[in-house]
Structure 1
Amino acid sequence: MGTDQTNQLEQIRKLHEKVSSTSINYWFKYSNINTWEFWIILGVFILPLIALYFLIDRKKAILIGFFGFNIHMWFHYADIFCVTNGFVTYPYKFIPLLPASVSLDTSLIPVTFLLLYQWTLNNHRNYYLYATAYSVFLSFLFKPALVTFGLFRLYKGMNYFYIFLIFLSVSFLSKWMTNLFLHIQQESQKEPTSEQKISIKKLFLKKVKAK
């Protein structure tokens, strides 16, 4: 590693350290447990997880949980990209060390999409139709409400239509990833078991003897 590269890497490290320190200082001043916004954000994190415990279909928990994890992962990546590039920001958090909103990325958004997926699955409804409708609600009603109450801010030309495209992309991509792994699982189940292989072998041997 050259000297110039080392110097730039050290500069980046110091900037990250400064951002982290500034974020913590900001949290103690404006987003601590003495603010009503803190408790709203904490409630948004806890309540969906409690609801999930009671509402999840336990017979399909692995499938639905895998889908929910996909929603969490892709939305978290998209949120971090938007925050670190200055397109959006969250003025209030209950965990100051993380750049994005844990309440939305880890709880509210994944849980609600997960329950929507479960409902469409159990009632044989078109997931893409309802996911699109829910993305419209989140983008043009829920996010503007967050802005109105000062819990979310937009910058650099970011608008609600772009947010809608993010929600739509995440919801569709998560469904496609789930479908892909379901397909892989189904393909593996088509392979004959060891008992079936023995039966096939015996049948083959009998045919040989018959000849």
Structure 2
Amino acid sequence: MDNEEIANRTLDLTLEITRLNIYEWRYLDLFTWQWWLLLTVFIIPWIVFIKMVDKKYLPETMLLGTWVIIISETFDHIGYELGMWTYLVEIFPLFPRFEEVNFSVLPVTYMLIYQKYRDWKKYIQAIAIAAGIFTWICEPILIWLNLYVPLNWNPSYGFPIYIAIGLITKWGTQKIYSLAKAKD
């Protein structure tokens, strides 16, 4: 096979997978109670954020949240593609899986913690508590509800990852803002 044939075959397979994902979503996920639950989980954190955000820190907070989205979505995509876990219900068929967590719950949680706990010690404590809640309360509930299925993964492995995400994003955000202030 030459490169063009390989590219065409890859495109055909990708389109077939997309077609099957849309079919599965349309006939198995859409408007089920799990779908409504996930949609609610996607929307509610942003409503809470809008009500609680301190506009004084909004650009800084949004930068941190954007990084949380990028990092969590990247890790989630890698783990999913490597068969470490799977998700049984999706809100949208063409978006990355588990967008209600990666695009809502995680960034909003980290942003609100960042805006409330400006010093490192309290921030680390709050992040560790959030990581524990995500790891040992939220993930077991998602498993129990048959929304998330760990395959080659122990959900406890997520604890240090949740903490690392919080530390990296706070450090990076503060670094960028200190560089920006130094230029003024």
TM-score normalised to the size of structure 2?
Answer: 0.92
What amino acid sits opposite 1:104 in the alignment? V
What's the RMSD between the two structures over aligned residues? 1.7
1:165 aligns with 2:153: no
Greater relative contact order, per chain length (Cα 8 Å cut-off, separation 6+): 2
Match of 2:3 in 1: 5
Aligned to 2:144: 148
Q: For 1:194-209, what aligned pairs fall within 5 Å after superposition?
A: none
Aligned mates of 1:96, 1:170 — CA distance in 2: 26
1:47 alignment counterpart: 44
1:76 aligns with 2:54: no
Structure 2 distance, partners of 1:185, 1:56, is 22
Q: Does 1:131 align with 2:123?
A: no
- 1:10, 1:165 → 2: CA distance? 41
Within 1, Cα distance between the matches of 2:88 and 2:41? 15
Equivalent residue number for residue 63 of structure 1? 60
Unaligned segments of structure 1, at least 5 residues: 190-211
- Tell me the residue number matched to 2:14: 16
Give CA-to-partner distance per residue, 1:39-82, whole Å, 9 cap, x none. Answer: 10010011111111110001111111111111111111111111
Return the TM-score normalized by structure 1.
0.81
Q: CA deviation at 1:160?
A: 1.3
What is the percent sequence identity of the aligned residues? 22
Q: 1:149: Cα distance to partner? A: 0.7
Partner of 2:2: helix, strand, or coil? Answer: helix
CA-CA distance at 1:125 after TM superposition: 5.1
Cα deviation code 1:9-29 (max 9, x no counterpart): 323222221211111111122
Unmatched segments (≥5 aa) in structure 2: none
**Whole-angstrom distance in 1 between the partners of 2:104 and 2:136:** 20
Identify which of 104, 110, 113 aligns with 1:107: 104
State the 4+ residue runs in structure 1 displaced beyond 4 angstroms.
none
AA aligned to 1:146 is: L
| Structure 2 Cα separation of the partners of residues 158 and 27 of structure 1 | 25
Greater mean alpha carbon deviation, residues 144-153 or residues 93-102: 93-102
For residues 26 and 111 of structure 1, what CA distance do their matches in structure 2 show? 29
Aligned with residue 31 of structure 1, among 29, 34, 38 = 29
CA distance, structure 2, for counterparts of residue 124 and residue 71 of structure 1: 17
Using the TM superposition, name which of 14-23 and 4-13 deviates more: 4-13
**How many equivalent pairs are there?**
184
